[in-house]
Amino acid sequence: MRRTKKVVKCSAPHLLNLWLNTCMAFKSKIRTWLYQTEKRIQKLRFKSQTDLPILLGISFPKSGTHLLDQILLGFANVAPYAKRLHSFYAEYEGESGKKREPQQALTWLDSLQANDVASAHLFARPQAIQKICSPKFIPYFIFRDPRDVVVSHVFYVTDMESKHVHHAYYQSLSNFDERLKVSILGRQDTDIEFPNIAERFNPYLDWLHHKEVLSIHFEDLINNRAETLTRIINHFLDKVPLHTSRQLILDSLESSINPTKSPTFRSGKTGDWKKHFKAEHKDIFKKNCWRFTDKVRVRER
């Protein structure tokens, strides 16, 4: 009896996905190779064989993430650090809104190596705190007046990130005022986790209670930049003594700031909420956020 060979036919979409996945895997390998090569070049440049602690920028979303990233990458001009981010981690997947498992954050932290610079929207869970508040890391936490956060959130979700899980919903709302109320109050009409602004901030609050983590107000970086950059430098020098003048380090961090290179940059201003908050917004913000406003330095102004 003659056997016939079974021919497996691949559809065009299947072939396309296969090709895209192959390209993505190849790009990832190239990116990793380039990153590691740049790190080796940095060590040669500074004639250093010393392993330095990981620079980690932790941020609450829409609070100056890219600004802090640029500042920390500025250390690459005065020390053998990577000149680009190793990676970015977020507690939620942007397109699906799915919350990641706590173990994923720990696995990501374990993937970081000496002389890396990394960035994260990272909850202050006990195990993450234990890892980060160790000699392996030099951590920073940046946050912002939550009233400015919710205003920035509206612009970002509505106009800047079409793949965001809430993009279609925000665009379906009739005006900015309605969208702003959602950013303050969250959504209860969906299975996607999106609580009010106070509850969204709560998992980050414990970063404020550990001296190993330098807390930075976004407003201070805008309004008192030199003083705040000096605090960032001092926190760094506590773990990494450099034979470089403080002025040179300060100039390096200052020159690394370039808002136009931030893909989500909009205004970089403080107090923008005053232009957008109406009496109703002020009222619902007070009712829902009064418990934590003192902790994040919110004042009536």
- Range of lowest pLDDT (3-7, 45-49, 70-74, 224-228): 3-7
Q: At what angle do helices 146-155 and 279-289 cross, to 10 degrees?
A: 120
CATH number for the domain whose boundaries are 16-42+53-289: 3.40.50.300
Q: Given this model, what pLDDT does residue 260 score?
A: 72
- Range of lowest pLDDT (9-23, 53-67, 127-141, 281-295): 9-23
Residues 81-106: what's their mean pLDDT? 93
Percent of the chain predicted with pLDDT > 70: 84
213 pLDDT above the threshold of 60: yes
Q: What region, left, alpha or beta, does residue 47 occupy, with left being phi > 0 and alpha being psi -120 to 50 degrees?
A: left
Domain boundaries, the chain: 16-42+53-289
CA 73/CA 183 separation, integer angstroms: 31
Q: Given this model, what pLDDT does residue 273 score?
A: 93
Q: Given this model, what pLDDT does residue 114 score?
A: 94
Q: Given this model, what pLDDT does residue 231 score?
A: 97
Q: Given this model, what pLDDT does residue 161 score?
A: 81
Strand arrangement, sheet containing 214-217: 88-90, 117-121, 54-59, 137-143, 214-217
Q: Given this model, what pLDDT does residue 19 score?
A: 58
147 pLDDT above the threshold of 90: yes
* Average predicted confidence (pLDDT) for the chain: 88
What digits encode the pLDDT tens for the residues 116-128?
A: 999 999 999 999 9
CA 206/CA 296 separation, integer angstroms: 11
